[in-house]
Structure 1
Amino acid sequence: MTVPAEKPKKVVSKKIAIVVHQEQSRPGRVGALLEKRGYELHRLCPNLGCNLPEDMSDYAGVVIFGGPMSANDCGTLAGIKCELEWIPKVIDAGVPYLGLCLGAQLLTRALGGRVNPHPEGKVEVGYVDIEPTEAGRAWFEGPMKVYQWHREGMQIPDCCELLATNDTYPVQGFRCGPNAFGFQFHPEVTLEMKEIWTLKSERLKQPGIQQRGVHLSMHALYDPPLDRWIDSFLDRWLATDQRSAAPELAMAAD
Structure 2
Amino acid sequence: MFDLPDTVYTIQHLAFEDLGAWEDVLYEQGLRVRYFEAGVENLEKAFAHEGLVIILGGPIGVYETTDYPFLQKEIDLLKVRLEKKLPTIGICLGAQLIAHALGAKVYAGHAKEIGWSTLSLANAAHHPLVALADTPVLHWHGDTFDLPAQAELLASSDLYPNQAFRVGPHILALQFHAEVAADSLEKWLIGHTCELRQAQIDIPTLRAAHQQYAPQLQQVSATVLGQFLAGLKSQS
Question: TM-score, normalization: structure 2?
Answer: 0.87
Contact 1:136 1:164 in 2 (8 A): no
- The Cα RMSD (Å) is 2.3
Aligned residue number for residue 6 of structure 1: none
1:149–1:37 CA distance, 2 compared to 1 (3 A): same
Question: Who is 1:161 aligned against?
Answer: 152
Q: Distance in 1 between matches of 2:193 and 2:219?
A: 28
Count of matched residue positions in the alignment of Structure 1 and Structure 2: 231
Aligned to 2:117: 128
Residues 22 and 48 in structure 1, CA contact (< 8 A), matched pair in contact too: no
8 Å CA contact 1:163–1:173 kept in 2: the answer is yes
Q: Is the 8 A contact 2:138 2:177 kept in 1?
A: yes
Q: In structure 1, what residue type is equivalent to 2:42? A: C
Amino acid at match of 1:144: T
Match of 1:250 in 2: 235
Alignment deviations for residues 186-241 of structure 1 (CA, whole Å, 9 cap, x no partner):
122224431111137012224553x2212222234212332222211112212343
Segments of 5+ residues of structure 1 without an aligned counterpart are 1-9
Provide the secondary structure at the position in 1 that maps to 2:207.
Answer: helix
| Runs of 4+ off more than 6 Å | none
- Residue deviations 1:132-162 (CA, integer Å, cap 9, x gap): 0111772324233111111111111221111
Task: Select which of 59, 67, 84 maps to 2:75.
Answer: 84
Residue pairs, 1:76-225, within 5 angstroms: 76-119=67-110, 122-135=111-124, 138-139=127-128, 140-141=130-131, 142-199=133-190, 201-207=193-199, 209=201, 211-225=202-216
**TM-score, L = length of structure 1:** 0.82
Where relative contact order (Cα < 8 A, 6+ residues apart) is larger, the structure is 2
SS at 2:90's partner residue? strand
Offset from partner CA, 1:85-119 (integer Å, 9 cap, x none):
12233333333211000000000000001111123
Asked if structure 2 preserves the Cα contact closer than 8 Å seen for 1:91 and 1:179, the reply is no
* Contact kept? 1:96, 1:238, Cα under 8 Å: no
What is the one-letter code of the residue matched to 1:43?
Answer: Y
Note the residue ranges of structure 2 that are not aligned, 5 or more in a row. none
SS at match of 2:136: strand
Corresponding residue of 1:67: 58
